[in-house]
Structure formats: structure tokens, C-alpha cells
Amino acid sequence: MTGLLDAQEVSVRYGSLAALDGVDLCVHDGQRHALIGPNGAGKSTLLDVLGGSTRPQRGTVRFAGRDIGRLGPAGRARRGINRIHQRPAVFATLTAAENVVVAALPRVIPRRRWWPAGRRRAAQQLAGPLLEQMGLTAVAAVPAGHLAHGQRRQLEIAMALAGRPRLLLLDEPAAGLSAVEVGRLVELLQALPRAVAVLLVEHRLDLVYALSDTVTVLRDGRTLAAGTPDEIRTSPLVRQAYADGVA
């Protein structure tokens, strides 16, 4: 069965280290798919491959029925794959609102609009609803470089959403967030329209179980198990892997 995103036999080597070794991953339309595994399992590397910033030595990636292996990050974002990075990446000298506007430009704001941020008000109109969802309204006019870590992460999520994604790649979105911020994030992800599929890398298993309908477990660059959250929770193999991986 083919899905929205279909990665097959993906392998990435760094020198003698196999970061990914023949991984298959399929994300269906509207699916909430979690990717878990111990440190160094290859989760971020897999997101890099799917997002186009790392070229795998082997394997294919198809999105919406097309081979996108030759597209870079920009081309994939234009087709609807948006991501946030494990270390929040924002435009430090631009205001929070401008950050969202820049992220929205390629897919959302028609070319004729030359002045999206020419005036503060226009930018805030565009970015306002998203910033509000992320609880960033008060800092809309603050340069992103001045924001606290958690706020920067939330800003990057707002930016990813601003691109109107069909597939959202989230690399540890809850890391570094306060309890309140995590609550808001969970709410936001649960409220996402079903037209958006999510691939979530997250270490906090409570969030994984709350947010996902499918879980894939990676370890040492290989798929260890895949299934529903319940299956994964009770799998002795997975418990064993985690015990080894974190000890």
C-alpha cells in the first residue's frame, strides 16, 4: 500500500557509521506517525533525508506519488513538506511576525503582494493568527534572536505551519518547552486539520502516545518495530531496546 510519503530502503553512511541502514517508512494522508528510538538511532537523519537536506546513498523517497529524491529542501517545501529542526532555526534579526511571513511567502502569499512586511501592520495581519495559536502574540514585534529558547521553538512551529504543509516533520518539538507550552503544543497538534499528516520525533513517550496513531521504533539505523501505540507500549523488544539504549 502506498501512502502520502513512501521511503524505501533508505541508507545513510557517515564514514564507517551507518546512521540509517535500509529503513522503510510510510506515512499516510492525515496520519499521526511517531518516530522514536534511543539517542543516535538515526531519527534526525531520517527527517533530513525526507526533508531533502541529506542525500541518502541508497533508497527512494516518494511523496504524493512522485519520486522526490532529486529535490532539495526548497523544492520539497514547495510541494508541502515542512519541518522544524531539533535545534530551533529562526531568522534572528527578523521579528517573530516577519519570520512567519517569510515562511509563508513561497506557498501562500501571492507574488503580486510585494509589500508583505513593508508595514508592520500587514505583517502582523498575516502572522497574527498563527502567532496567537502559539502564544507568541506579545512578542510579535520582537527580533527572533531575542526570544527565549522555548519561544523560538514555538516560532519555528508557527513557521512550519505557515507554509501550509501536507506533511509536517517535527524533530522533538517539545524539547525545552515549559509545561504550559507543552500543553499548548499538544492542543495545537491535536487540532491540526486531518489534511495535514505529521511525522513526530519525540523522546517523551507520554506525548507520543497522546498524539500518534502509529509508532515506528528505530535503533542503530534500523527499524526495530512498528505498530499502534498500544502494541509498541507492550512490546518486550522495544522495552529491551530502550533499556539498552539509555543505560
Partner 1 sequence: MSGEVIRRARGAVAALVLVGLVVAPWVVDDYTTALLARTLALALVGVSVALLTGVAGMPTLGQTAPYAAGAYACAVVGSRVSDVGVVQLVVAAGAGALLAALIVPLVVHARGVIVLMITLAIGELVVVVLGRWRSVTGGTDGLAGVPAVRPFWGLPALASDQGRYLYALVVVATLVGAVLVLLRTRAGLVLRAGRDDETRLRASGHRVAVHLSGAHIAAGAIAGAAGSVLVVAQQYISPADFGFDTSALLLLGVVIGGTASVGGALVGAALVIAVRDWLFGVLPGHAPLVLGALFVATVYLLPTGVNRARSRLSEAAAPQPDPPAAQERATVGEVGR
Ligand X SMILES: Nc1ncnc2c1ncn2[C@@H]1O[C@H](COP(=O)(O)OP(=O)(O)OP(=O)(O)O)[C@@H](O)[C@H]1O
Name the residues that contact partner 1, by CB under 8 A.
36, 38-39, 51, 53, 72-75, 77-78, 82-83, 85-94, 98-99, 101-103, 105-107, 109, 113-118, 145-150, 152, 156, 159, 163, 172, 174-176, 203-205, 242-243, 245-247
Query: Closest distance between partner 1 and the C-beta of residue 28, in Å?
Result: 23
77 grid coordinates: 517545501
Q: Which does 157 bind (CB under 5 to 8 A by kind): partner 1, Mg ion, ligand X, none?
A: none
Residue 247, H or E segment: none
Query: Closest distance between Mg ion and the C-beta of residue 246, in Å?
Result: 14
CA dihedral 7, 219, 11, 30 (to 10 degrees): 10
Q: Which does 92 bind (CB under 5 to 8 A by kind): Mg ion, partner 1, ligand X, none?
A: partner 1
**Residue count, binding to ligand X (CB under 6 A):** 12
| CA separation for the pair 197, 195 (Å, rounded) | 6
Going by C-beta distance under 8 Å and a sequence separation of 6 or more, which residues neighbour residue 141? 95, 96, 97, 120, 124
Q: What is the per-residue DSSP string for 2-57?
A: --SEEEEEEEEEETTEEEEEEEEEEE-TT-EEEEE-STTSSHHHHHHHHHTSS--S
Query: Closest distance between ligand X and the C-beta of residue 201, in Å?
Result: 7
Decide whether 42 or 150 has the Cβ nearer to partner 1: 150
| CA separation for the pair 202, 188 (Å, rounded) | 16
Q: If binding is defined by CB under 6 A, does position 162 make contact with ligand X?
A: no
Binding site for ligand X (CB under 6 A): 14, 17, 19, 37, 39-45, 86
